[in-house]
Every structure is written in C-alpha cells, then in structure tokens.
Amino acid sequence: MAPRKDGDVVFSFNGKYVSWTHTVFAYAAFLGALIVGVLLHYHKIVQNEYYGYPDEWFPSVSATIGDRYPERSVFMVFIAITSGPRFILVGLWYLLTRRPNSNLPGIVAAIGLFRTFTCGGWTYVTSTDDHDWHDIFMISYLVATLPWTLGCLALSPPNLKAVKYRKILAGLFFGTLVPLIYFFIQHKVHKVAGAYTTYAFFEWSLILFDVAFDAVTALDFETFELVVKDVKGLSRGDARLLKDSVKEKERDSTLIQTSTFEGPYYWPAMLDAAADIYHGFVFWSILTSLGVLVWYFPLWHMGISGYEVMVMSTISPLLLGVPFIRSLTIKHVRLVHLSSLAGLLAWLVKDPASRLFTVGFAVWMGCLAWSAEWYAERRDSGRLQTRILAWCIGLILSSIAKFANHTNNPLWPILHPGNGGWNKTGVVLAVLAIWRSTRPSSTSGGDYFAPTAKKGSGILAGAGLGGLFFAMHSLLSDSSTMILWVWEGYPVRGPLAVPHGAVTIFAMSAGLFLGVALPKFFRSWTAYGLGAVGAAFITSYSNWRGYYGGLVLAFYLMGVAPVLISSAVLHNPASTFGWGFFVYNVMVLFHVWVVAYAFVPGGPLVREHTDWIMVTTMLLIGAGVFSALTTNAGYQQKSKTSPRGRKQTAYYLHLLLALQLLAASVAYLRFPTNDYQPYHKDEKLITAGIWTIHFSLDNDMWSSERRMRDAIKDLELDVVGLLESDLQRIIMGNRDTTQYLAEDLGMYVDYGPGPNKHTWGSALLSKFPILNSTHHLLPSPVGELAPAIEATLDVYGTAVDVFVFHSGQEEDPEDRRLQSEYLAQIMGASPRPAILLSYLVIKPTEGNYNTYVSEKSGMHDIDVRDWDRWCEYILYKDIKRVGYARVSRGTITDTEIQVGKFVVGEPVSYSDERIPEEQVPPGRRFPALFRGEGVRGHRYHVFDEPWYYA
C-alpha cells in the first residue's frame, strides 16, 4: 500500500451507525440475559418474596440481569460493549446541537454522561452485591432521565419525524411509570399474586422505550459523518477535522439549528430562582414551626396558658397601612427578611418560652417582609409573579422536606443536630439565599403608587387570602395530611403516606403550573366550583374517593394562589395582607377548637364540626375570587412586565419540575419493605406495650421521636399502642410520629382515627402483619371524643386481636361509663385471643374497672395486685401471660410505659402465681439494662423489677 498523503481520508463513518450500534448492543444485553435466564433458571428468576411459578410467570429486569450466572455475565458483557457507542452518541449530540450563547447543550451532554456512569453503577453493583448503592445508582439514573429527555426535546433540530418519535417515546416512558408504581404497590403492600409479573412487563417496557428514545438520534445523524484524515501521513486523527466536517455538513443541510423551545438558559438566572424558592421555603419553615411551640404550653397547662396569643404574630402587615412604615419596610426589605431568620436560630434558645417569643418575632418580620415585597412589585407583573411562585414553590419544598424527614421540617426549632435537625446548614443557606434574592437589582427598591383598583374590595381580597393561607397551611404543608383524613385502617383501601405523598406533591405542583399558565381559568367560578367539589369529597368520603377529592382541592388551591395574591396587591396592604392574616388566625383557632372544645370557652358550639371549617374556608376563598373578578381590569394594561420577570418564570417552573423528581425519589427510598420480624420469633413471644406520648414533644420542647424509638427498641416491643398521637393540625405541626417509628423499627402501622375525626389520637405499631383493623369513636356526650383501634394481627399463624383505647377524662364520669360498656361489648364479641392496651382513668377493682374486667368482656387484668395505677392498663384473654413491667418515662412525656409479655400456642392460665426470673427462659425475659438506674432515664419502677408468671 502506498504511503498516505497529507489530507487523505483514513476512515469515514456515518453518524447514524453509532446510534444503531448502541441500540443493537443495548437490546442484546437485556434480551440476551432474558433468553438465557428463561432457559436456565426460569423458576428461580420468576420467584419473589411472596410467590413463585405459576402465580408469577415472567421475570423482572432486576431478577434477570443481576441474580444468576451466566445471565448476569451476558448482560454485563454486552452493556460494556454498549458503553463506547453511548459515550460517542452523547458527544455527537453535543456537537450537533451546540450553538453560540447557550449553555443548554453542554448541560444536556453533562447529564447524558452522568446517566451513562450511573447506568454502569447499577449494572456492575447489583442489588445482591450492595442493595443500597444499587438503588442509589438506579434512582440517580431515573432522576437524570427526565432532564435528559426534556433537554433532547428542547435541542431537537426541526426534523419533524425525529421530534414526533421522541415525543411519543418520552410520553410512553413516563406514562409507563404510573402503572409500574401501581402494580409494585399491589405486589409489595397488598401482596397480590401475579402483580409482580404485570409489574415486570411495565419494567421491561421502560427499557425498550428508554433505548428507543436514544435510537431516534439516528434520524438526526443521517447527515452527520465522522471523518478521520491523515494530515501528516502518520495515520492519526485530528479532532479539529471532526469539527470542520460537522460544520460543513451543517452548512449543506437545510436544517436550521434552533431550539424547539424558545428562551435563554443561563446559570445566574437559575441561581436567582433557586435562591428565591429557598427564601420561600424558609418562610414556610418558620411559620409552620410557630404552632408547635405554642401548643407546648396549653399541653402542659392542660388548658389555656396565655401563650396562645403568639398565634397573632402573623398580623404584622397591618402596619403597612401606615405610609411611613410601608415605605421604610420596602426600602429595607432585605434587613427585614434577614431579621426573620431569628426563627431558624431559635433552636439555640433552651428556655421554651424564650424560644417561642423568638419564633414569634421571626414570623412577625417574615409576614411583614413578604407582604411589603409583593405590594412593592405590583407595577411589574412579571417580577410579582416570580415572587409569588417563589413563595408557593417554597411551600412545596417545605412539604418535600417533611416528606423526606418523616413529617418533621429539619429547620424547625424543636429539632437540633442530635434529633434530626439541619439547623446550621439551613441558616447558612438562608442567609445566602436572602442576600441574593433581595439584592438591589432584583427588587423594586421603593414604594410605588400604582393605580389602585376602582372596583373590588380590599376586605374581600383579604378574606380570600385568609382562607387561602389557612387551607394551604392546614392541608398542604405536609404531604400526608389529606391521606390521613381518608385513612380507615386495614386492609388498605386507599392511599398511604408513603408513597402517595409524592402524588399529593405532584397535584400541588400541577395546580401551580397551570395557575401560572391559565390564570383566567383559576379566576373563574368554574375553577372555584371544581375546588368546592374537591373540598366536599375529602370532607364527606374516605379511602380513594375522598383522596381524589383532596387532590382536586390541592390542585385548585395552588392554582388560585397566584390569582388571589396578584389581585390583593392592588389594594391597601393593611386591608388585604393584614386583614388576611387575621382571618387566617381565626381559622387556625377554629380548627383547633373543633377537637379541643373541652378546654376552651365556647368550644362545644363548634364541637366536631370540621365540615363547618371546610365550608367557611371555601366561602372565604370565594370572596377572594369575587374580588379578583371585579378588580379594575385596567391594571393589566397599566402594569409593566420586566424582561427579567418574563424570562425568570421559566426557571421557577424548571425547578418545580426537578422537585417532582426529588419527591418521587423520596417515595422510592422510603417505600415500606413489609418484611418485618418479631424480636423473639423462636419463642413465639409477643411483647406488647402502651404509651401516652404527649404529642411527641418532650419536657423541654424538643421533638421526641428518636428517644421514643430508642426506648421501644430497647424494650423489644413487638406491638405498641400510642396515645395522644394525632399531630395533623397546624397547632401540632401537621406531623406523624408513627411514620418515623414504623420505618426505623420495621413495623406495620395503623395511624388510627384521622385528624378529621376530632380525637387526640390512638395508633398501633406491630411487628406482626395487621390483617384487619376497625376504628371506633366511643360515646362521649360531654367530654372529648374517645378513639379506639380494634386490630387483628397474624401472630405466628394465630389471629390475635389487639385493642388500643384512650378513654375520656376524669371530669366526665358519664362519658367514661358509656365508653367502658361499649368497649367491653366489642372485646367480649371477639372469639380470638385478645390484648387491651389502654388509658382508662380508673382505680383497680373500683367502678368502671369491673366493666372492663368482667364476664361480659372476657378480659383479665395483667396483674390485679398492681394497685398503683390510674391511667394505663393492660388486659388480656385466651393468651398465655408470662411477664409484666412498668418503665419510667424519663423526660419524654408525662406517662410511663407499661409492657406485657405473652406466648402464643401454650395453655392459658389466669393464676397470679409469680416465679423468679431465674426460672424464666432467657428469650422470655425483659432486658436487663432497665434495672437499677436504667438507661437514658428509663428504668423499671413502682415495683423496681419485672414480674413473671408460670
């Protein structure tokens, strides 16, 4: 062969072959492993933790590619070959789509490389090798898929055929996620035979659609050729020639390289949006913490304490009615916002009262600053819209943060680094976010006097804001609140806090997105009617029907928020925001009084009337809609929209989309495993406890979930009843302690009667599967409503009934008598072994005790000789009792823990004969670490040691 001359073509290759090569080897990797797996290990790869062949007859992707040899090796070999074309494909896509003054192609290419590396992660680190890292890589890959897909669509050259296929495949990919998740829940939660096979088909479909989406690049690469030239006769390539070839082909092509989506993309704008959203998140973090701190005081005073007045910290916008204060606040809004960060520093204040006052000051300044800023931006509708978006997305981010942190916001002052707080990090980020968000170039910087509305009413606008703020806070500040409204027990017939909390967040986000895109619709009575129907459904129905109503309501509330706020700024801020927050405060007290009627003056007038609250809320929002409809339409022509405001809106919505991925990832990581094991299964032992947890606030106003977790774990409780556990109200932070305890301890959970049932709460945690549960609201004609859970557990193959019950207070003897008769009746009707974990407010052997412990109920006291009891009692029937102990509370709550040990399948004796611990098998003994001084303030007390029975 003659020597090559400079410039000779050494190698020429059409770009479309890179895409086809990637596609062929990717499909070969998956389908090759599937074929080999079916031929060699069919029955093994279709087997899951619940069922095998013939119930399950098609393998999942993970079982096919990661569990067996040689299927796993076949997959790894071909996927390794695929990696080369994959990297080249990403590089060529970047070269094809790059353009001056745009960073988007580089961002998309970086995401493509990240996806490729994470694909290698879940490929070569299988779930068998390291389950956690396999999941991390897999989730990262799925999360990166959305921006990669949207980026490719945004950068697609105007090749109609390619764009069409990309949209179809992207729609199929993301549409498949819905049934995929549904059938996974059917398998994992409901244990439906055959559900995993159906899930597997959707999982394989995701693979096909994902690879096919990237295969579409072959249509764009048809005019794209790789050329290697020997420029010096040394047979080596030159990257510059590749660029020249690309440019030459681009000049010859009739395709014009423009984005299918208009608008610039640049990092400073995205950083501005992120700072604004975090700023909104900080406001909601501080506001939602106020109620928890206020609640601490009436909780310990058992009545009105006087500290409840701090609820009024939100009415500071009334000061904006004074022109001097309004002008001063707007000009120095950065300082006002920064002063509100005292609420994030409040965790450093140890004294509960001082901590409350610190947060009250922060709420005062935060409400003042946000109201003033909205009012100041009213002449720039674009900037106003971004500020409203930041505030609303801040609520969504707050809900996601609580979703990820088991319903506690990590910036709350009831948390610290020792119990789950991220206080220091939160403060640093807040300072940086506010500093950027309120810099002079991004604010109006003065008090503008735009034309005010000639029509409409500031009072009605403020009423609308009050109803909106209350609804957002009471229903949307935690993703599990509406789910627990419709919860009715086992078997599961409706949504679960995990994973369906992500669905609530998605509905909120979709509503906000369309609220910006379709403001005229959300300003209409049609949209209002839709929201009212949703409110009626969640108030009137349970399970899925009620939840669907809740989703509609969440969608509407977030969509109407920009409409009501942008209308309110056209009036005097004192009559809108000041009055609005006052109305919000009245509604907060209203929704507390419906359950706390026994402790407040006039409480019986609104007793158990959540329906009145919902009707009032919707009427208030309707007043705001009426004001918005009648407000001077001329404002729209006189206001100006800055170019920056128009451009920024897109970035807020992009970040809103990214938050959906974060919520979905949290739902995946927190998905319950449902494979829990009791502590002493070889002994067929069930250790049951009862504990009144005082709303998960300890004596020093700290969240107590982790300390409770430690005590329950050390006591080796298989079943535990929790009382005073319903925290799903503004005044209690819209929390759910049972989520953290159940996930960390590995237990099934029944939250008990929901927050719309007007009780203080009773919950059940169990290591044993809950076959069925029924919620009871016992007769309470005078005092507070008494909740009970009647649950049937699968205890080592034996059905055992467990009752968790909180009776009325000492002040209401007739209530307690009626409740004792009701509970005795349902316990006596149980034909199965039964355990009562209860709060009875009686003395042993006296009064109602003889109704609970009677022939009618069939129940026996765990030890009648324990005379020093008043509140907590454990009763049982038809199950062998082997031990009983009382454990001190430490500083977690105001009530001890009572624990009983029972054995299933052995002869039952009701003899009170005690035996020394030495005669008890080690597996049936109570932990020794609670003897003497005990651990962390918990010790055996009253009789200072456990009691055991023959």
CATH number for the domain including 323? Answer: 1.20.1250
More confident residue, 108 or 408: 408
Q: What is the mean pLDDT of residues 152-179?
A: 80
Residue 461 shares a structural domain with residue 315: no
- The phi and psi torsions of 778 (rounded to 5 degrees) equal -80, 160
Q: In the prediction, which pLDDT does 818 show?
A: 96
Residue partners of 48: CB distance under 8 A and separation at least 6: 56, 60, 63, 187, 196
Mark which of 195, 224, 253 sits at the end of a domain.
224
Q: Is the pLDDT of residue 298 over 60?
A: yes
Residues 463 and 356 in one domain: no
pLDDT recorded at residue 395: 97
Distance (Å, whole) CA 395 – CA 771: 37
Confidence of residue 175 (pLDDT cuts 50, 70, 90): confident
β-pairing verdict for 719-723 and 685-692: parallel
Question: Tell me, what's the pLDDT at 60?
Answer: 85
Residue at 390 is within a domain:
yes
- Band of residue 352 on the pLDDT scale cut at 50, 70, 90: very high
104, 155 Cβ separation under 8 angstroms: yes
Quote the percentage of the chain above a pLDDT of 90. 59
In the beta sheet, which residues pair with residue 666?
Answer: none
Tokens of 260: 């299918």
Res. 9: pLDDT tops 70: no
> What was the pLDDT predicted at 65?
80
Confidence of residue 226 (pLDDT cuts 50, 70, 90): low
Q: pLDDT at residue 264 above 50?
A: no
**Is 844 within 8 Å of 869 (Cβ atoms)?**
yes
Residue whose tokens read 């299918």: 260
Whether 139 shows a pLDDT value over 90: the answer reads: no
- For position 92, what pLDDT does the model report? 77
Q: Which residue, 420, 449, 478, sits at the end of a domain? A: 449
Residue 437 vs residue 3, higher pLDDT: 437
Task: Give 21's pLDDT tier (boundaries 50, 70, 90).
Answer: confident
Q: Which long-range contacts (CB under 8 A, 24 or more apart) does 529-537 make?
A: 530/556, 531/556, 531/557, 531/560, 531/618, 531/621, 532/618, 535/614, 535/617, 535/618, 536/614
Q: What is the pLDDT of residue 227?
A: 65
Of 432, 449, 466, the one marking the end of a domain is 449
Asked if the structure places residue 1 within a domain, the reply is no
Averaged pLDDT for residues 823-852 = 96
Decide if 647 is inside a domain.
Answer: no
Q: Which residues contact 689 (CB under 8 A, 6 or more apart)?
A: 712, 715, 717, 719, 720, 721, 837, 897, 898, 899, 900
How many C-beta atoms surround the C-beta of residue 825 within 10 A?
12
Are 737 and 884 in the same domain?
Answer: yes
Judge whether residue 765 has pLDDT over 50: yes
Instruction: Flag whether pLDDT at 788 surpasses 90.
Output: yes
Q: How far apart are CA 185 and CA 232, in angstroms?
A: 63
pLDDT of residue 13: 57
- Asked if 284 and 418 sit in the same domain, the reply is yes
Q: What is the DSSP string of 180-241?
A: HHHHHHHHHTS--TTHHHHHHHHHHHHHHHHHHHHHTHHHHGGG-EEEEEESSSS----HHH
Shared domain check, 898 and 753: yes
The two beta strands, 872-877 and 880-887, are: unpaired
pLDDT at 246: 41
Give the count of domains, the chain: 4
Which of the four pLDDT bands, split at 50, 70 and 90, describes residue 447? Answer: very low
Residues 444 and 455 in one domain: no
Residue 189 in this model has a pLDDT that exceeds 90: no
Say if residue 603's pLDDT is above 70: yes
Does some domain include residue 668? Answer: no
Task: Report the chain's mean pLDDT, rounded to a whole number.
Answer: 87
What is the arithmetic mean of pLDDT over 368-381?
90
- 926 secondary structure, DSSP code: P
Beta bridge partners of 881: 902
Confidence of residue 31 (pLDDT cuts 50, 70, 90): confident
Residue 440's pLDDT band, with cuts at 50, 70 and 90, is low
Mean of pLDDT values over 725-745: 96
pLDDT at 378: 83
pLDDT at 826: 97
pLDDT of residue 160: 79
Q: What is the mean predicted confidence (pLDDT) over 931-949?
A: 94
Asked if residue 799 belongs to a domain, the reply is yes
Q: What distance in Å separates the CA atoms of residue 354 and residue 913, rounded to the nearest whole number? A: 53
Q: Are residues 67 and 177 in the same domain?
A: yes
Identify whether 419 is part of a domain.
Answer: yes
Q: Quick one: 720 and 857 in the same domain?
A: yes
Task: State how far the Cα of 905 lies from the Cα of 85, in Å rounded to an integer.
Answer: 63
pLDDT of amino acid 909:
87
840: exposed, middle or buried (C-beta count within 10 Å: 0-12, 13-18, 19+)?
Answer: buried
Question: Residue 769 pLDDT > 90, yes or no?
Answer: yes
Which residues, at least 6 apart from 355, have a Cβ–Cβ distance to it below 8 Å?
A: 293, 346, 347, 349, 413, 701
Residues with catalytic annotation? 806
Res 235 pLDDT > 50:
no
- Greater confidence (619 vs 241) lies with 619
State the residue range of the domain holding 52. Answer: 15-224
Q: Please tell me whether residues 801 and 943 are part of one structural domain.
A: yes
- Residue pair 235/131 in contact (Cβ under 8 Å)? The answer is no
Are residues 343 and 477 located together in one domain of the fold? Answer: no
pLDDT at 531: 96
Q: Which of 167-171, 361-365, 406-410 has the lowest mean pLDDT?
A: 167-171
Cis status of the peptide bond prior to 54, with omega within 30 of 0? yes
On whether residue 672 sits in a domain, the answer given is no
Question: In the predicted model, what is the mean pLDDT of residues 233-251?
Answer: 44
The pLDDT value recorded for residue 451 is: 45
- Which pLDDT belongs to residue 24? 83
Q: How does residue 207 score in pLDDT terms, banded at 50, 70 and 90?
A: confident
- Give a yes or no: residue 403 inside a domain: yes
- Is the pLDDT at 237 greater than 80? The verdict is no
Do 767 and 756 share a domain, yes or no?
yes
Confidence of residue 330 (pLDDT cuts 50, 70, 90): very high
Instruction: Decide if pLDDT at 547 tops 70.
Output: yes
What pLDDT was estimated at residue 241?
41
Identify the CATH number of the domain in which residue 766 sits.
Answer: 3.60.10.10
Model confidence at 222: pLDDT above 60: yes
* Residues 889 and 940 placed together within one structural domain of the fold: yes
